């Protein structure tokens, strides 16, 4: 999808090894964003940005997303305080994905369930041979019920 | 999207904190997969799996994807030797993204351009204030032209 903010993609060589930032948005106008902790390298979450959210992120140094479920802009941490201060932005060979290295403000957690990372569960085989999710290895950083009440 | 292989998603609490693996595929039947190096934690690439590719990955311990551009199954490394041996699989709170921690076989690179990671370029501001891609900080692991010829 062509963005109204960023230049359209050039030829393969330019996109893959050039110096012009030509992010490719999918047919819904979105690009996948992998967020990692700048200190530990841990993957914290995957979000989606449209061109305006990506522009805001670059300009403000704080991560903005497009919420696919709510169909609205979403500044991470606006209510939770878990603001993502951007340390580094990377893109991949075909410029259709973004890596954001961030420092997280507030209580330092990223996941609304209370864990440091949204990827707090491993996919494992049970003793019975079934594919299940293991109980988290780590403790939660906070209990969302204590802050937001029962939901 | 409902998968024919994995169970449909249950209620919010079950999806977010339960032990049943209920991956959510998007309207094209795909789920985003973040691949990291098990040793260094570096993000190597972002790919997409449909339910069958995810099943093959879990069963074989080697990463399979669905190529959106070629609309076909793609076993990473089938031609390049850069096979991804899966060490750990994680999913996030809403089970609509996957993290694969892998060891890469062959020459150890992941990117077809020759770098260790597909995310070899940083998005930076030029001296003139323009948003550009920095020249890679790292050397390429191999020169694809030497293996595959000019393309």
Q: What is the pLDDT of residues A47-101, one digit of tens each?
A: 999 999 999 999 999 999 999 999 999 999 999 999 999 999 999 999 999 999 9
In a domain, B39, yes or no: yes
Residue B24's closest CA among B39, B10, B34, B9?
Answer: B9
- CATH number for the domain that contains residue A32: 3.10.20.810
Q: Is the ipTM of this complex over 0.90?
A: yes
Q: How far is CA A93 from the centre of its chain?
A: 18
Share of chain B above pLDDT 70, in %: 97
In a domain, B128, yes or no: no
In a domain, B79, yes or no: yes
In a domain, A131, yes or no: no
Number of H helices and E strands in chain B, helices first, is 3, 8
In a domain, B3, yes or no: no
Taking an 8 Å cut-off on Cβ atoms, the answer to whether B89 and A122 are in contact is yes
Rounded CA separation B127/A7 (Å) = 19
> Would an 8 Å CB–CB cutoff place B90 in contact with chain A?
yes
Paired tokens of B8 = 């449909």
> Would an 8 Å CB–CB cutoff place A86 in contact with chain B?
no
Q: What's the gap in Å between the CA of B99 and the closest CA on chain A?
A: 7
Contacts of B13 (CB under 8 A, 6+ apart): none
Taking an 8 Å cut-off on Cβ atoms, the answer to whether A90 and B16 are in contact is no
> How many domains does chain B contain in total?
1
- pLDDT tens digits, one per residue of A5-21: 999 999 999 999 999 99
> Would an 8 Å CB–CB cutoff place B5 in contact with chain A?
no
In a domain, A144, yes or no: no
In a domain, A119, yes or no: no
Domain membership of residue A39 as a residue range = 12-113
Task: Yes or no: say if A145 and B33 are a contact pair by the CB < 8 Å rule.
Answer: no
Contacts of B90 in chain A (CB under 8 A): 43, 119-123
In a domain, B40, yes or no: yes
Q: What's the gap in Å between the CA of B119 and the closest CA on chain A?
A: 4
Sheet bearing B121-125, strands edge to edge: A43-49, A31-37, A97-104, A84-91, B121-125, B131-133
CA-nearest residue to B14 within chain A is A133
Rounded CA separation A144/B13 (Å) = 13
Query: Helix, strand, coil % (nearest 5) of chain B?
Result: 15, 30, 55
CA-nearest residue to B140 within chain A is A17
């Amino acid at each position: 999808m062509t963005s109204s903010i960023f230049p359209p993609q050039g030829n393969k060589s330019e996109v893959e090894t050039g110096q012009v930032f030509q992010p490719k948005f999918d047919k819904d106008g979105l690009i996948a964003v992998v967020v990692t902790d700048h200190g530990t390298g841990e993957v914290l979450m995957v979000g989606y940005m449209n061109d305006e959210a990506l522009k805001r992120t670059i300009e403000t140094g704080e991560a903005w997303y497009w919420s696919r479920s709510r169909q609205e802009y979403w500044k991470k941490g606006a209510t939770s305080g878990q603001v993502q201060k951007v340390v580094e932005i990377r893109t991949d060979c075909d410029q259709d994905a973004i890596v954001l290295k961030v420092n997280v403000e507030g209580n330092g957690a990223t996941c609304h369930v209370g864990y440091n990372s949204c990827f707090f569960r491993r996919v494992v085989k049970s003793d019975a041979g079934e594919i299940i999710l293991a109980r988290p290895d780590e403790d939660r950083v906070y209990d969302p019920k204590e802050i937001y009440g029962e939901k």
